[in-house]
A and B are shown apart, each in its own frame.
Chain A
């Protein structure tokens, strides 16, 4: 009968892993949102009935995006090693995991953003068109601003998805909570590690949800009762 790892040691490792996970999730979410939002805008503008309808371009772009989304993350992680080396001249560690995490989430964010933008009612967009606003201005002050609460929620959804993906970062030595759960909890049958990582992951996911919900409500002017 093995003696259980002391809680203090579990706690120390958990702390390190949590740091790594948060680092990977926050940075890759930021990069994915930064690069994925323009993709979503482009998809929406070129869509039939969009501001700049380009049916063929839209189809091609949509195909590429869906191809990216259908790629299993584990495969992407390995496939993108050369890109990671090119960008960071290293292929291991949490920073290295950020490259495939971000790239994998860009098409995801693109579709989310397109869906959100397509919810802005066509009469609202056309009203802006009739004011003589440029496309850039309409994207900025109508499409993005009108859907800001939903966009904030989309960021939360992305972050939680990336929290899940980051569990696979262990493959490239990225560490993190998922890696800890697999290495210590699963492969060494150490229940303390297994369950404590699950709890921490759940706490992080819930926190992301709560924070984005609150921010989304904060930027939403629709139901404000006092002017």
Chain B
């Protein structure tokens, strides 16, 4: 649905040119949510501003439904902007307009007539759960409510793509949840393709199907969240899965020590107990824990195994869908 190809953007800096984006490629399938994450200064904001058509990249293309929007000007550019709904970073509501008036802004720009406009505004306020706040002014709303109104505004002109730039950065955890729920509903109920730029892995954990990790203006990791977490070496796994502490003393007494990532209800619930009984090994949990990515439970455990068939047990877990990585801390290095 939205394809970013080879996007490059350079800014003049105090010490020569600063390359904010260095050949960025992204691909978001229709109706999915992509999270773009990365440390400060990685180029996230520049990317968001380019996709919002607020900043013109030096080269590369941004295609929505196959049409390149980068080179457009004037009326064509304004029309293109309506295809991408934007939830900008920070407070962006008109303080002199009611919530409903703010949501109506893109419809006014699109020339939608009065009665139709009011219906659409009502639909969107309902979608974000703020029908009762239609007549309230932004200063009378909480931060989370304001952000939900901003989402409603971004969706008003029925864009095919929704871009949210740090939509939760100024919010507390509770309100963050309500804003993410609204983004998720937009995808589920309107079929909008969502691109969310964030420094908060919690956003990825809760609503993203795909993730792209940006570093120094380049995409260093891009794929399905559930695929990336089973790769223990990935940055996504490192930041989304429960941490395991190194504890060599405890690990020394086992025949084998391994990190195991399990995805899905079946795997998390049954795989380890079954391995224990099937191979007659003693399996101890040394660390790690359980988390949830979207609706999917995901676990990462550090386990210590005792028994002659420990290797076979690990192999079996791996074949049954668990992702197994033996740690160097255990004595298996000696055995091998």
Contact = CB atoms under 8 A, between A and B. Distances in A.
B171 to A, nearest CB: 16
Nearest to B150: A127
B95 A132 contact: no
A55 to B, nearest CB: 14
A130 B137 contact: no
A132 B82 contact: yes
Interface stretch (A60-68, A139-147, A196-204): A139-147
Interface stretch (A103-111, A163-171, A217-225): A217-225
Interface residues of B, number: 38
A134 B109 contact: yes
A137 B157 CA distance: 16
B157 A131 contact: yes
A142 B91 CA distance: 14
Interface in B133-157: 133, 135-137, 139-140, 150, 153-154, 156-157
Nearest to A149: B96
Nearest to B80: A132
A8 interface: no
A132 B109 contact: yes
A130 B52 contact: yes
Interface residues of A, number: 25
A62 B139 CA distance: 35
B299 to A, nearest CB: 40
Interface stretch (A40-48, A93-101, A118-126): A118-126
A16 B319 CA distance: 102
B54 A132 contact: no
B208 to A, nearest CB: 22
B94 A124 contact: yes
B88 A131 contact: no
B78 A222 contact: no
A129 B157 contact: no
A221 to B, nearest CB: 5
Interface of A: 121, 123-124, 126-134, 137, 141-142, 145-146, 148, 220-225, 227
Sorted nearest first, the 8 A-B pairs with minimum C-beta distance are A127-B92, A131-B106, A130-B86, A132-B81, A133-B109, A227-B135, A132-B82, A132-B78
Given A124-B95, A145-B96, 20 more contacts: A121-B91, A123-B88, A123-B92, A126-B92, A130-B52, A130-B85, A130-B154, A132-B81, A132-B110, A132-B157, A133-B108, A134-B109, A141-B105, A145-B97, A146-B96, A221-B97, A222-B95, A222-B139, A227-B136, A227-B140
